[in-house]
């Protein structure tokens, strides 16, 4: 059959397909192209109309959106100022968990027991410890005055309905449940009905000897390294440092056994330790701590479990108790806009 008599030829099929003329295209090509362009336009419009997914919040976002009610001022009656030559360390006591130790420490502080004593030990990745350099020599030890020399161990306490506890959603190696209570990292065992504070960075404990009642708070230590959670329920934790950790964590490491300083000149003198309530208001360090019993703090925990900052590519989806920060800030100035 000749080309001219072909039953499937369309007008223009015999032309050079590389020709600049469009007349070689099949007759239905115009309709096809119109449909294609229309589909592209409508599809593009539909795609553009879809809202962008909301940007995940960061911890900074949660703090910026917090309300005044999400924060609490430190109680001056349970706040200690440890003053060193380099600056001030602010500690918050935990009378809800260690009432006997908190009271005994306050007695010693009011009698100026710690004034002139020293930081005795800095063990790398473990603790910084302070107290009396002559504490193990009865004839030279600094007198405790009205403070008790022994105290019943306060390694744990009973779970109570009036003791707030914000439980973390993830598991823990050392306890059935972990979370935060009154601004402190804590753990608990619902079966035994017991709860206790946890040895996270910045937590302060009362050093003791072998006897359980031998830690009255005359020697204190702060965790400066990876959390030694094996100490939980073996020593009374009495509070935590809320400001000034750099003054205790960046000290020269002791060269003796367990990080003790071997020479007297290596020790760092303590200028004074005072209760905030006994310090003139103008000389106090005003601080607010984020409450750990609010939806805002729960939202903050989630921002740390699933890090969505631009740098992170794979959110962990879990978090360890000691990796959750508790924000601390100076009180907003009067007249500042409230969230």
**Total of domains in the chain:** 1
Q: Is residue 34 part of a domain?
A: no
Which residues make Cβ contacts (< 8 Å) with residue 163, sequence separation at least 6? Answer: 96, 181, 182, 195
Give the pLDDT confidence score for residue 287 in this predicted structure: 98
Q: What is the pLDDT of residue 237?
A: 98
Answer yes or no: are the C-beta atoms of 284 and 83 closer than 8 Å: no
Q: Which domain holds residue 86?
A: 74-323
Residue 91 lies in a domain: yes
The reply to whether 23 falls in a domain is: no
- Position 10 scores a pLDDT of 40
Determine contact, residues 141/180, Cβ cutoff 8 Å.
no
| 120 within a domain of the structure (yes/no) | yes
At residue 19, the pLDDT reads 41
Give the Cα separation of 145 and 149 in Å (integer): 9
Q: What is the pLDDT of residue 136?
A: 87
Does some domain include residue 213?
Answer: yes
Supply the pLDDT for residue 309.
83
Residue 319 lies in a domain: yes
Residue 189 belongs to domain with CATH number: 2.40.100.10
Residue 45 lies in a domain: no
Query: What pLDDT, on a 0 to 100 scale, did the predictor assign at position 43?
Result: 52
Its pTM stands at: 0.83
Would residue 329 count as lying in a domain?
no
* pLDDT value at residue 48: 54
> pLDDT at position 11, please?
40
What are the pLDDT tens digits along the chain (339 aa)? Answer: 444 444 433 444 444 433 444 344 344 445 445 444 444 445 554 455 567 666 788 999 999 999 999 999 999 999 999 999 999 999 999 999 999 999 999 999 999 999 999 999 999 999 999 999 999 888 899 999 999 999 999 999 999 999 999 999 999 999 999 999 999 999 999 999 999 999 999 999 999 999 999 999 999 999 999 999 999 999 999 999 999 999 999 999 999 999 999 999 999 999 999 999 999 999 999 999 999 999 999 999 999 998 888 899 998 999 999 999 999 999 998 765 555
Query: What confidence score (pLDDT) does residue 2 get?
Result: 43
């Amino acid at each position: 059959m000749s080309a001219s008599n072909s039953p499937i030829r369309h007008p223009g099929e015999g032309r050079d397909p590389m020709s600049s003329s469009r007349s070689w295209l099949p007759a239905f090509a115009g309709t096809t192209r119109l449909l294609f362009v229309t589909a592209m336009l409508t599809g593009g419009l539909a795609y553009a109309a879809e809202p962008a997914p909301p940007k995940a919040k960061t911890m900074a976002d949660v703090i910026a959106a917090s309300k005044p009610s999400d924060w609490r001022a430190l109680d001056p009656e349970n706040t200690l100022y440890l003053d060193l030559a380099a600056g001030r360390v602010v500690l918050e006591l935990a009378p809800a968990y260690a009432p006997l130790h908190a009271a005994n420490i306050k007695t010693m502080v009011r009698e100026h027991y710690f004034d002139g004593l020293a930081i005795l030990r800095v063990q790398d990745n473990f603790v910084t410890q302070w107290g009396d350099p002559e504490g193990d020599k009865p004839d030279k030890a600094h007198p405790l005055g009205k403070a008790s020399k022994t105290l019943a161990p306060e390694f744990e306490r009973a779970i109570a309905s009036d003791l707030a506890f914000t439980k973390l959603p993830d598991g823990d190696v050392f306890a059935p449940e972990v979370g935060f209570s009154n601004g402190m990292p804590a753990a608990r065992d619902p079966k035994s009905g017991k709860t206790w504070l946890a040895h996270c960075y910045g937590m302060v404990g009362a050093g003791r000897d072998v006897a359980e009642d031998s830690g009255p708070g005359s020697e204190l230590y702060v965790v400066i390294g990876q959390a030694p959670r094996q100490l939980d329920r073996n020593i009374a934790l009495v509070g935590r440092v809320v400001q000034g950790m750099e003054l205790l964590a960046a000290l020269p490491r002791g060269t003796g056994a367990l990080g003790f300083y071997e020479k007297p000149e290596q020790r760092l003198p303590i200028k004074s330790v005072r209760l905030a309530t006994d310090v003139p208001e103008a000389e106090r360090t005003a601080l607010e701590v984020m409450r750990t019993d609010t939806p805002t703090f729960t939202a903050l925990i989630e921002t740390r479990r699933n890090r969505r900052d631009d740098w992170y590519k794979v959110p962990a989806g879990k978090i360890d108790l000691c990796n959750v920060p508790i924000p601390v800030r100076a009180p907003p100035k009067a007249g500042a806009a409230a969230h």
